Chains A and B, each alone.
Chain A
Amino acid sequence: MSLLEVRDLKVRRGGVPALRGVTFEVDRREVVALLGANGAGKTTTLRAISDLSRPESGEIRFDGRSIVGASSTRVVEAGIAHVPEGSRIWPEMTVAENLRLGAYAVRRKGSPAERLDAVFRLLPRLAERAGQLAGTLSGGERQMAAIGRALMASPKLLLMDEPSLGLSPRVVDTVFDTIQEIRRDGVAVLLVEQNVVRALEIAERAYVLEGGRIVRQGSGEELLDDPEVRQAYLGRTAGAGSPGAGD
């Protein structure tokens, strides 16, 4: 049984169909990338999973239980944490307060102090910045704070929406290293990312969305070698490793 199973998910946004029947799954301890152009439905998929938008029909099962219609608090409690696009930390609060808020929904899961220690071990920079207002952090540190906040909920699955967007190449490296470490700690990651090459390099499997449908799926390597994917996202050149045109 997969950790997350999404079956025939349909979502409308402003009356227009955004997802037209999306089916995919994420296994335990697996990084799965969700690729596609702007407007293909990647963010909508993540939002439907964490109950930020309501599906029209379809099924979302997590850990064997349906979570369609469960409140966002219940979704976090069940073990799904969301790192929204653009980090969305609270700039007027300290880093420590931001992290505390990440554990808001999961009061019963162990002590927050232990989780905080674990987050600080993974992201030592946050420990140095704990007392600082989050608004004073650099872009990379903000992204780390958002990841740390999500990890405070001790999730089994992390939804990440464009974690490398707007960051410098060196910081992007750190973000991807962090994703690998998160997986090593036993957390599955569903990754929406415009940096297609980097995403496919670390993902076990990937799905390509187009117009609200999954049009392609396979292992990270398969999709990296897929001529159509290369054409759509990486340009026609055969040389691997150059960052793709994001959308």
Chain B
Amino acid sequence: MSSFTRRHLLLGVGALGGLALIAPLLLANPYSSRLAQLLFMNILLASAWNLVGGFAGQISFGNASLFGVGAYATSMLWLAGFHPFLTMPVAALLAALYGVAWGWPCLRLRGPYFAIATIGVAEATRIVANHIEAAGGASGLTLPLEQDLGPVLLYALGAVLAVAAVLVSAAVRRSRLGLGLIALREDAQAAAASGVNVARQQVTVFAVTAALTGLAGGYYAVFTLYIVPEKVFGFDLSISLVLMVLVGGIGTVMGPVLGAGIYLFLEQFVLASLADIHLAAFGALLIFIILLEPRGAAPRVAQFVRLIRRRFG
């Protein structure tokens, strides 16, 4: 993309450098390694969701269907003997194809109609996945434990994927198409008057969302080594993405990153004791945030950063 600037590339390299520096801290024990992996996966998922959910304003409750395709693609290819790294592009491609297959008809709908359609697609996908015996049916797939990539490689893979997702998000935000989608979301009448007609191109961006979500699925399979349809195609997963982005700041580049972190923190440290109702508790938090700060955490954090800069810069 033409609007992908050198500054973004430098920021990306800087972020990777920073993540490399704090790696020893996060790789101290298996639990912290897992936290880092989950954080990278959440950033990837939330940034991917935000491309269409945030920039185009089309709220999907069905991204688990794409995540599951990625997770299964990677798992089945790995079990067939391919190196997990090689399975990743296939996971992205298959998820993108599946995303276009249902996104193309569904994205003709707008607002709540689109949202409801995505729930239908994802639930249908989950039910079908439960019955594909070749893919392990409802009991899922167990991956070769002895071929585990190990915490360092998994950390590196996750960091690269997460940073790449944020860079893609920044590039889309600044691209011609991204700007057009935001214009359409903000004021469809003004967009029409200016000749900005991008409704059909939503599907292009959705393909990117789907590819990144498929990568997240592949990554998940590689670090958990065990997948079941109820989890990777689950409605919980779809909803958690929406919550992350709303809490962090919808339609911004850094919002999904913040939201992914906040979600993980709450899930692990605050709501762990609440076990199965943690989504309900998170939902309550969401209502609280929307009442106090409807645009999520990102604008406030940006304001804070500017304040610090002015004080010390």
Please list the residues of chain A having a beta carbon within 8 angstroms of any beta carbon in chain B.
50-52, 71-73, 75-77, 81-84, 88-93, 97, 100-102, 104-106, 149-150, 153
The distance in angstroms between the C-alpha atoms of A50 and B189, with both chains bound, is 11
The distance in angstroms between the C-alpha atoms of A93 and B252, with both chains bound, is 12
Least CB distance from B182 to A in Å reads: 7
Looking across the interface, which residue of chain B has its beta carbon closest to that of A100? B179
Contact A89:B193 (CB < 8 A) given known A97-B179, A100-B179: no
Q: What 9 A-B pairs have minimum CB-CB distances, sorted nearest first?
A: A76-B195, A105-B195, A88-B190, A82-B193, A73-B197, A73-B195, A104-B196, A72-B192, A84-B193
- Determine the interface band of chain B, counting residues with CB < 8 A from chain A: 10 to 19
Does A101 contact B180, Cβ atoms closer than 8 Å? yes
Does B190 contact A104, Cβ atoms closer than 8 Å? no
B183 beta carbon closer than 8 Å to chain A: yes
> When each residue 147-188 of chain B gets 1 if its CB lies under 8 Å from chain A and 0 otherwise, what string results?
000000000000000000000000000001001101100110
Does B190 contact A90, Cβ atoms closer than 8 Å? yes
The distance in angstroms between the C-alpha atoms of A91 and B187, with both chains bound, is 10
Least CB distance from A116 to B in Å reads: 14
Does B183 contact A75, Cβ atoms closer than 8 Å? no
What residues on A are CB-neighbors of B197 within 8 Å?
71-73, 105
Does A93 contact B196, Cβ atoms closer than 8 Å? no
Least CB distance from A109 to B in Å reads: 12
Q: Given known contacts A75-B195, A104-B195, what 12 new A-B pairs fall within 8 Å (CB)?
A: A50-B192, A71-B197, A73-B195, A91-B186, A92-B182, A92-B186, A97-B179, A100-B176, A101-B179, A102-B194, A105-B197, A149-B194
The distance in angstroms between the C-alpha atoms of A105 and B182, with both chains bound, is 15
Q: Of the candidates A81, A88, A105, A106, which one forms a contact with B189 in the assembled complex, judged by CB atoms under 8 Å apart?
A: A88
Does B179 contact A76, Cβ atoms closer than 8 Å? no
Contact A72:B195 (CB < 8 A) given known A100-B179, A104-B176: yes
Least CB distance from B239 to A in Å reads: 26
List 7 A-B residue pairs with CB atoms under 8 Å apart, sorted by A's residue number: A52-B193, A76-B195, A84-B193, A92-B182, A101-B196, A104-B183, A104-B196
The distance in angstroms between the C-alpha atoms of A71 and B193, with both chains bound, is 10
What residues on B are CB-neighbors of A101 within 8 Å?
179-180, 183, 191, 194, 196
Does A105 contact B194, Cβ atoms closer than 8 Å? yes
The distance in angstroms between the C-alpha atoms of A104 and B178, with both chains bound, is 12
Does A84 contact B195, Cβ atoms closer than 8 Å? no
The distance in angstroms between the C-alpha atoms of A75 and B180, with both chains bound, is 17
The distance in angstroms between the C-alpha atoms of A137 and B189, with both chains bound, is 20
What residues on B are CB-neighbors of A77 within 8 Å?
195
What residues on A are CB-neighbors of B192 within 8 Å?
50-52, 72
What residues on A are CB-neighbors of B182 within 8 Å?
90, 92-93
What residues on B are CB-neighbors of A97 within 8 Å?
179
What residues on B are CB-neighbors of A76 within 8 Å?
194-195
What residues on B are CB-neighbors of A71 within 8 Å?
197
Contact A72:B193 (CB < 8 A) given known A93-B183, A101-B180: yes
The distance in angstroms between the C-alpha atoms of A89 and B194, with both chains bound, is 10
What residues on B are CB-neighbors of A51 within 8 Å?
192
The distance in angstroms between the C-alpha atoms of A114 and B197, with both chains bound, is 23
What residues on A are CB-neighbors of B187 within 8 Å?
88, 90
Does A88 contact B193, Cβ atoms closer than 8 Å? yes
The distance in angstroms between the C-alpha atoms of A100 and B195, with both chains bound, is 12
The distance in angstroms between the C-alpha atoms of A222 and B296, with both chains bound, is 58
The distance in angstroms between the C-alpha atoms of A90 and B186, with both chains bound, is 7
What residues on A are CB-neighbors of B190 within 8 Å?
84, 88-90
Q: Of the candidates B176, B186, B189, which one forms a contact with A84 in the assembled complex, judged by CB atoms under 8 Å apart?
A: B189
**Using a CB-CB cutoff of 8 Å, which residues 188-229 of chain B contact chain A?**
189-197
The distance in angstroms between the C-alpha atoms of A81 and B194, with both chains bound, is 7
The distance in angstroms between the C-alpha atoms of A149 and B180, with both chains bound, is 14
Looking across the interface, which residue of chain B has its beta carbon closest to that of A106? B195
Least CB distance from B196 to A in Å reads: 5
What residues on A are CB-neighbors of B189 within 8 Å?
52, 84, 88
Least CB distance from A244 to B in Å reads: 27
Looking across the interface, which residue of chain B has its beta carbon closest to that of A78? B195
Does A104 contact B180, Cβ atoms closer than 8 Å? yes
Does A153 contact B195, Cβ atoms closer than 8 Å? yes
The distance in angstroms between the C-alpha atoms of A70 and B189, with both chains bound, is 16
The distance in angstroms between the C-alpha atoms of A150 and B196, with both chains bound, is 12
Choose among B187, B194, B196 the residue with the greatest number of A CB atoms under 10 Å from its CB. Answer: B194
